[in-house]
C-alpha cells in the first residue's frame, strides 16, 4: 500500500468509532493508516499557503498509557499493519509540527470541542481550515462506525465539483464500490451539467464508473437528500464556483452535512489528484 491516511487518535469510545472508520476506509481504498497519538493538545500543520494550529479537546489525552495498545489492537484486528507518527520537528517544546504530505486525513466533525456538544450540523473551524488548505481529501466521519456499500458524488458543475467527480472515480476504481452522481438542478437543464463533464473529457469515465446520474428537480433540497443511500460515502468538492456557486461550505454544503449522517470525503480548493 503506497497511500497513507493520517489519523489523530482519541483513546475514548468515540475515538474508537472514528478509528474503525479510518481502518475500513483504508481497506477499501488500499491505503495504510498512520496514527498520531498526541502528547499535548496542540500541534501545527504547515500547508503551502497556511499554517493551521490545531487545538484538540482534552479527551484526546485520555489514558495515554493504553492509547497505543488500543490503537494497535483495532488496526491489527482490521487486518492492517499499524504505523505511528512520531513528530520530528517542533515549533515549540509542546507544539509539534505534523506533516501534510499524506494522501488522506481523517477528522471527526470537530477536533476542538467536546463530542457531547457537537451536533450533526456542526463542522468545526479547524477542520474547515484543513479542508481549505490541504492538497489531500479529508474524511469527515459519522459519529458511529458504519460500513459504506456505495459512493455518492454531489456534482454542481464547478471546477471543484470536477475534482470531486475524479475523486469519486478513483475511490470506485480501487474499492470496486458502485458510484452514483447527484445533481440539484438550479434553473439549469441537465444538458448543461452533461456538457461540463464532456468539456473535461470525463464522458468515458462516467460511462465506466457511474451507475446512475440523479437530477433533483424538486427545489426543496433537504427533501431530495432522502434519496441518497444511507450506507454510501458522500464525496464533495469544497468552495466551488461554477454552475452552483459555493456548493460546499455554502448553503448546499450546510444542508448536506446537517441532514445526512453519512461520512463525507471532501476535496478542498487545493486538492490535487491522488497519485
**274 domain residue, yes or no:** no
97 in Cβ contact with 89 (< 8 Å): yes
Same domain, 99 and 216: no
Rounded CA-CA distance 112/103 in Å is 23
Same domain, 181 and 259: yes
Domain of 128, in residue numbers: 3-140
Same domain, 117 and 163: no
Rounded CA-CA distance 26/23 in Å is 5
Helix axes 64-77, 13-29, angle to 10 degrees: 30
Q: Which of 73, 106, 140 is the last residue of a domain?
A: 140
Tell me the pLDDT of the chain (275 aa) as tens digits. 589 999 999 999 999 999 999 999 999 999 999 999 999 999 999 998 889 898 888 999 999 999 999 999 999 999 999 999 999 999 988 899 999 999 999 987 665 555 545 454 556 778 888 888 899 999 999 889 999 999 999 998 888 889 999 999 999 999 999 999 999 998 889 999 999 999 999 999 999 999 999 999 988 999 999 999 999 999 998 764 444 343 445 567 677 877 888 999 999 888 887 65
pLDDT digits (tens, 9 = 90+) for 132-164: 889 999 999 988 999 999 999 999 888 888 999
Same domain, 35 and 97: yes
**160 domain residue, yes or no:** yes
**161 domain residue, yes or no:** yes
Q: Which of 83, 116, 140 is the last residue of a domain?
A: 140
**210 domain residue, yes or no:** yes
Same domain, 132 and 159: no
pLDDT digits (tens, 9 = 90+) for 25-37: 999 999 999 999 9
Same domain, 126 and 221: no
Query: What pLDDT shows up at residue 110?
Result: 63
7 in Cβ contact with 107 (< 8 Å): no
Same domain, 157 and 129: no
SS3 of residue 90 by DSSP: strand
Q: Which of 105, 140, 175 is the last residue of a domain?
A: 140
Global confidence as pTM: 0.90
Same domain, 243 and 124: no
Q: How many domains does the chain have?
A: 2
CATH number at residue 235: 3.40.50.620
Rounded CA-CA distance 12/54 in Å is 19
10 in Cβ contact with 37 (< 8 Å): no
Same domain, 24 and 87: yes
**145 domain residue, yes or no:** no
**128 domain residue, yes or no:** yes
Q: Is the dihedral of CA 88, 90, 93, 98 positive or negative?
A: negative
Rounded CA-CA distance 155/236 in Å is 8
CATH number at residue 58: 3.40.50
For residue 152, which phi and psi values (nearest 5 degrees)? -120, 115
Pairing of strands 264-267, 232-237: parallel
**272 domain residue, yes or no:** no
Same domain, 169 and 120: no
Same domain, 64 and 157: no
SS3 of residue 209 by DSSP: helix
Same domain, 194 and 234: yes
**203 domain residue, yes or no:** yes
Amino acid at each position: 500500500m503506497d497511500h497513507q491516511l493520517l489519523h489523530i487518535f482519541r483513546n475514548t469510545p468515540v475515538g474508537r468509532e472514528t478509528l474503525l472508520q479510518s481502518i475500513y476506509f483504508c481497506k477499501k481504498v488500499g491505503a495504510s493508516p498512520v496514527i498520531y497519538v498526541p502528547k499535548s493538545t496542540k500541534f501545527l500543520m504547515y500547508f503551502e499557503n497556511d499554517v493551521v494550529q490545531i487545538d484538540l479537546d482534552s479527551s484526546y489525552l485520555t489514558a495515554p498509557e493504553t492509547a497505543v495498545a488500543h490503537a494497535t489492537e483495532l488496526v491489527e484486528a482490521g487486518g492492517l499493519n499499524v504505523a505511528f507518527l512520531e513528530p520530528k520537528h517542533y515549533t515549540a517544546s509542546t507544539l509539534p509540527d505534523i506533516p501534510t504530505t499524506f494522501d488522506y486525513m481523517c477528522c471527526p466533525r470537530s477536533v476542538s470541542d467536546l463530542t457531547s456538544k457537537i451536533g450533526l450540523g456542526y463542522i468545526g473551524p479547524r477542520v474547515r481550515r484543513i479542508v481549505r488548505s490541504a492538497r489531500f481529501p479529508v474524511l469527515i466521519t459519522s459519529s458511529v462506525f458504519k460500513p459504506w456499500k456505495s459512493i455518492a458524488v454531489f456534482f454542481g458543475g464547478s471546477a471543484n465539483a470536477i475534482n470531486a467527480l475524479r475523486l469519486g472515480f478513483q475511490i470506485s476504481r480501487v474499492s470496486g464500490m458502485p458510484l452514483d452522481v447527484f445533481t440539484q438542478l438550479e434553473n439549469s437543464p441537465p444538458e448543461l451539467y452533461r456538457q461540463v463533464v464532456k468539456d473535461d473529457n470525463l464522458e468515458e469515465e462516467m460511462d465506466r464508473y457511474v451507475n446512475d446520474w440523479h437530477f433533483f428537480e424538486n427545489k426543496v433540497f433537504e427533501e431530495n437528500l432522502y434519496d441518497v443511500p444511507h450506507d454510501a460515502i458522500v464525496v464533495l468538492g469544497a468552495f466551488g464556483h461554477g454552475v452552483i456557486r459555493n456548493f460546499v461550505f455554502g448553503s448546499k454544503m450546510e444542508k448536506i452535512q446537517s441532514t445526512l449522517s453519512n461520512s463525507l470525503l471532501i476535496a478542498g480548493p487545493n486538492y490535487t489528484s491522488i497519485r
